[in-house]
Amino acid sequence: MSIDWITVSAQIVNFLILVWLLKHFLYQPVMRAMESREQRIAEQLNKAQTREQEADEKAQHYQKKTTELQCKYDEVLAEAGQKAEQHKRQLFDEARAEVAETRAHWQRQAQQEKEEFFGNLRHRTSDVIQVIARKALTDLAEINLEEQIIQSFIHRLKSLDKESHKTLLDTSEPVRIASAFELNSAMRGRLTRAVHEHLVDGIDVEYTKSPELLCGIELAAGDGRLSWNLANYLGELSERVEEAFASAIPTEKVKE
């Protein structure tokens, strides 16, 4: 069998031309189209990744904002709660202070009225007791009350202890004698002799009238005092009367 090399050569040339044509007009456009498509797909993938990344960043940003807003909300809520609690305590303290002030005002007013009442009662009781004591002593002893007071006072002067006697002697000033009643010359003479005899011989004695002594007499020499005063006896009576009234009047308790 013989080979026709011309035919074979022509077929080879035709084949190469066909390959060149296919490569030039079919393969290269297809490859360029595929590359272009792959590039577009890659770009779309990159864009998708970029968008996904941006979405993640936005989601993280929103999550951060949400967390910050929640924290601020909690802080505002806590601060509002604290302010409400402080305001509540302030109102409660103001109410307690107002109640305490009102109670103190009532107590001061009640104490003032009580002191005024017992003060008036004491003075009235003193006046009544003076009258009764004066009349009783006059009727029983057949002497007036002033004489009895002077006699009791001189007896106290005689019975001075050493310390009281020393206190009365520790002065260079005149001895002052005050009485609730007017002393006549005879009474003053008796008192002056008693002072010279039992205190200091020859010392000057000054006399004054003092109704505050409540039917009594008082000797003052320096810082020392010696007195006979009806108020001394009225003190215990006033305390007993006050205790009696205090136990008779119920005490109201103010609820806090």
Domain boundaries, the chain: 1-102, 143-248
How far apart are the C-alpha atoms of 43 and 51, rounded to whole Å? 12
Q: pLDDT confidence of 146, banded at 50, 70, 90?
A: confident
Task: Count Cβ neighbours within 10 Å for each residue of 49-58 and write b for 16 or more, e otherwise.
Answer: eeeeeeeeee
Window from 15-24, 162-171, 247-256 with minimum mean pLDDT: 247-256
* pTM score: 0.40
Cα–Cα distance list, 61 to 46, 51, 64, 138 (Å): 22, 15, 5, 111
Cα–Cα distance list, 203 to 122, 154, 166 (Å): 37, 17, 15
At 203, phi and psi to the nearest 5? -75, 145
